Amino acid sequence: MKSLQTDLLAQARDVLQHIWGYDDFRSQQADIVTRVAGGEDALVLMPTGGGKSLCYQVPALMRPGTAIVISPLISLMQDQVATLLQLGVRAAYLSSSLDAYEARAIESQLLDGSLDLLYMAPERLVTARTLDILQRTPIALFAIDEAHCVSQWGHDFRADYLGLSVLAEQFPQVPRLALTATADLRTRADIKRLLRLEHAEVYLSSFDRPNIFYRILPRLNALEQLTDFIRREHPNDAGIVYCLSRAKTEKVAEALQARGFPAVVYHAGLSAQEREANQTKFLREEGVIVVATIAFGMGIDKPNVRFVAHLDLPKSLEAYYQETGRAGRDGLASTVCLFYGLQDVIKHQQMLAQSEGSEEHKRHERRRIDAMLQLCETTDCRRQLLLRYFDEHMPKPCGYCDICAEPVATWDATEPARMALSAVYRTGQRYGVEYVVEVLVGKRSDRVLANQHEQLSVFGQGQALSLKSWRSLFRQLLAKGLLLVDADGFGTLRLAPECRPLLKGEVSLALRQDKDTLTAQRRTSTASRASQTLDAADQPLWLGLRALRRELALAQGVPPYVIFHDSTLMAMVEHMPLSLQEMRLIGGIGDSKLSRYGEDFLAVIRQHVDALA
Ligand code: ADP
Ligand code: ZN
């Protein structure tokens, strides 16, 4: 048994090195691959960008027969197949985008045994026709990608995934491999039950994304802050900007365009053609920014998204993690930046107050929002908090988030907080933040005078703090649940029972001192972290390699990253290989790509080296 495993591992490495040109497997990949290659089932829980695809693609090439990959989205299938074809792997997909004639051609390839991998959507698989064909074909394995789709708890439950229990019934001897980036226990249990994977080995990877730098800033002027962020940290990079409403995506995209950024919009209100065109531009061209609602992202496999910005607060940490996870799939340094403000907190509190679900549902919603707010307002390492939420313990601060890079100061806000709470109370718990702040700073506005609130003892007591500081303070009181917002839709504030100890002077309150500009200098704490910085002297070579890649991609109608990843081009710049043998040592260059593109890229490198001499 032992030697069989060792043999399988050696064989798997050989496939990895020759076909993909990678040195070795990452973390659990080796175990998973040998297990599945040996004919057993597995359930793989790995974060986005963790390297799930190789877990079934490598065994697919090691086992006799065709591997059937079940995937929910056409765009994902197309991308994967384009990538595999570049590697010289015989892959195809069956989808509703093909006409009957094309589909027949692929079916006969399958029956001929001339396919290594065949991708299809679940609804296609469960048809009598497909099942019948599969019964007549040797099958290497079934890989069920995005397996959380079987779960009602998943974010994108798909009824057609339920039909996949047919695999265990009709093909009991074929190994099944389920893969997902959603790791919570309920989803996991659903996957096991519905796909009959009770006895499968479960592989749970760390959900940390070490190449992502987390940054959260209070929002002042979102557009200015966003452009400042992109200019300073990611000029010329591809990125995603998320907004809550369609109207806002349009406005932000226009503003970015006016400032010279190549920005496109994406939301469910666009026609199918517009969506398609904008998505294609984002995938095929370099450095495009897509401004989108959360309708965008599922099925986007672009590896070199260098930043994800949120201009509104996501509704939960799950959503935040999934959306930010679209940055840096290729493992190179990437930044995510969330801008949030008082209005977000009020809006969320209001939605909670208006929610008509059961008490239990409300409690559940409150917990989710509280966790999101806690991440925003924390004065400790963001990554530690995020991972803790996903039940993962990180013993030390990460060194790679805004707070680790530049610790946040706190101030003793006990007195001003009491003053704020008392102003809410004295004005009758009938007003929103703006009004209460007017009273605190002693503004004789018409409405204050009309209410005779200039006669209150709190009137003008808070002149020592700026308007900005008061807003920050109210935001934090709301985020901490010391103040509540009514369901009336006017942002009316009310004291929460939790504020009593503070009012009575039994506890003190430390709040964060907001930093709203990008003063924090990013630093990389571990050597393993990809560094994107190129010497100025290397810039022309980098641009030359990218131009060649773009030309090759255009000629074949595929996205540039299907030819080579940024990390592979970066390694070419670093090592400047001058022969095919040297070129072969670069990560991401296997046999097929070496023979297809090696000489072309060598020519660009040689030219650059000659110019230097
Ligand atoms: P996931 O499906 O988990 O989001 P992918 O399978 O797309 O992740 O892999 C993410 C990236 O990491 C891909 O570009 C892939 O080529 C790369 N990758 C995966 N495994 C390895 C490895 N062992 N060595 C080098 N790169 C790898
Ligand atoms: Zn940190």
Ligand 1 atom closest to residue 23's alpha carbon, by position in its atom list: 24
* More confident site: 362 or 323: 323
Burial group, residue 13, by CB count within 10 angstroms (0-12, 13-18, 19+): middle
Taking all residues of the chain, what is their mean pLDDT, rounded to a whole number? 91
Q: What is the largest CA-CA distance in the chain?
A: 90
**Which DSSP state fits 189?**
H
pLDDT at residue 449 greater than cutoff 90: yes
Looking at residue 315, what is its pLDDT? 87
Q: Residue 157 — pLDDT band, cuts 50, 70, 90?
A: low
Q: Which ligand is nearest to the CA of 16?
A: 1
Q: Provide the whole-model pTM.
A: 0.86
Rg of the chain taking only CA atoms, in angstroms: 27
> What are the residue ranges of helices labelled H in 492-535?
500-503
Question: Ligand 1 pocket: which of 15, 22, 561, 585 to mutate (most atoms <8 Å of CB)?
Answer: 22
Q: Which ligand is nearest to the CA of 379?
A: 2
Determine the distance separating the centroid of ligand 2 and the alpha carbon of 518, expressed in angstroms.
16
Q: How far, in Å, are 26, 210, 410 from residue 527 at the CA level?
A: 17, 12, 31
> What are the residue ranges of helices labelled H in 504-590?
539-556, 560-563, 566-575, 580-584
How does pLDDT run across 224-257, given as a tens digit for each residue? 999 999 999 999 899 999 999 999 999 999 999 9
Percentage of the chain exceeding pLDDT 90:
76
**What's the rounded mean pLDDT across residues 203-210?**
92
pLDDT at residue 156 greater than cutoff 80: no
**What's the rounded mean pLDDT across residues 81-91?**
97
**Which DSSP state fits 452?**
T
Determine the distance separating the centroid of ligand 2 and the alpha carbon of 398, expressed in angstroms.
4
Half-sphere exposure of 314 (CA within 13 A, CB side): 25
How does pLDDT run across 544-602, given as a tens digit for each residue? 999 999 999 999 999 999 999 999 999 999 999 999 999 999 999 999 999 999 999 99
**What's the rounded mean pLDDT across residues 516-531?**
44
Q: Whose CA is nearest to atom 5 of ligand 1?
A: 51
Q: Whose CA is nearest to atom 14 of ligand 1?
A: 330
Q: Which ligand is nearest to the CA of 399?
A: 2
CB atoms within 10 A of CB 135: 10
pLDDT at residue 525 greater than cutoff 50: no
Looking at residue 488, what is its pLDDT? 85
Rounded distance, CA 590 to CA 21, Å? 4
Q: Whose CA is nearest to atom 25 of ligand 1?
A: 22
pLDDT at residue 105 greater than cutoff 60: yes
Q: Residue 73 — pLDDT band, cuts 50, 70, 90?
A: confident
Q: Residue 524 — pLDDT band, cuts 50, 70, 90?
A: very low
Question: Ligand 1 pocket: which of 19, 20, 26, 53 to mutate (most atoms <8 Å of CB)?
Answer: 53
Looking at residue 520, what is its pLDDT? 45
Q: Which residue has the tokens 């040297």?
A: 582
**What's the rounded mean pLDDT across residues 56-73?**
96
pLDDT at residue 364 greater than cutoff 90: no
| Ranges 216-220, 351-355, 397-401: which has the least confidence | 351-355
Ligand 1 atom closest to residue 54's alpha carbon, by position in its atom list: 6
Residue 170's SS3 state is: helix
CB atoms within 10 A of CB 398: 21
Q: Which residues surround ligand 2, an ion (CB under 5 A)?
A: 381, 383, 397-398, 401, 404
Rounded distance, CA 560 to CA 565, Å? 8
Which candidate, 129, 43, 51, places its Cα nearest to that of 94? 129
Q: Which residue has the tokens 């592989």?
A: 203
Looking at residue 527, what is its pLDDT? 31
Pairing status of strand 212-218 against strand 483-485:
unpaired
Q: Which residue has the tokens 């057609």?
A: 160
Q: Which ligand is nearest to the CA of 407?
A: 2
Rounded distance, CA 306 to CA 235, Å? 10
Q: Residue 517 — pLDDT band, cuts 50, 70, 90?
A: low
Determine the distance separating the centroid of ligand 2 and the alpha carbon of 521, expressed in angstroms.
13
Rounded distance, CA 193 to CA 153, Å? 14
Q: Which residue has the tokens 């969330």?
A: 338
**What's the rounded mean pLDDT across residues 59-63?**
98
Bridge partners (DSSP) listed for residue 70: 120, 144
Residue environment code for 184-202, b if the CB has 16+ CB neighbours within 10 A, otherwise e: eeebbebbbebbbbeebee
SS3 string, 261-300, reads CCEEEECCCCCHHHHHHHHHHHHHCCCCEEEECCCCCCCC
| Ranges 98-107, 510-519, 600-609: which has the least confidence | 510-519
Looking at residue 533, what is its pLDDT? 61
Q: Which residues lie with the beta carbon below 6 Å from any ligand 1 atom?
A: 22, 25-26, 29, 46, 48-54, 303, 329-330, 565
Bridge partners (DSSP) listed for residue 178: 43, 144
Determine the distance separating the centroid of ligand 1 and the alpha carbon of 51, expressed in angstroms.
3
Q: Whose CA is nearest to atom 10 of ligand 1?
A: 49
Looking at residue 516, what is its pLDDT? 65
Rounded distance, CA 341 to CA 313, Å? 8
**What's the rounded mean pLDDT across residues 495-503?**
94
Determine the distance separating the centroid of ligand 1 and the alpha carbon of 26, expressed in angstroms.
9
Rounded distance, CA 394 to CA 397, Å? 7
Q: Which residue has the tokens 């109210």?
A: 474
Q: What are phi and psi of 575, to 5 degrees?
A: -95, -15
Q: Residue 76 — pLDDT band, cuts 50, 70, 90?
A: confident
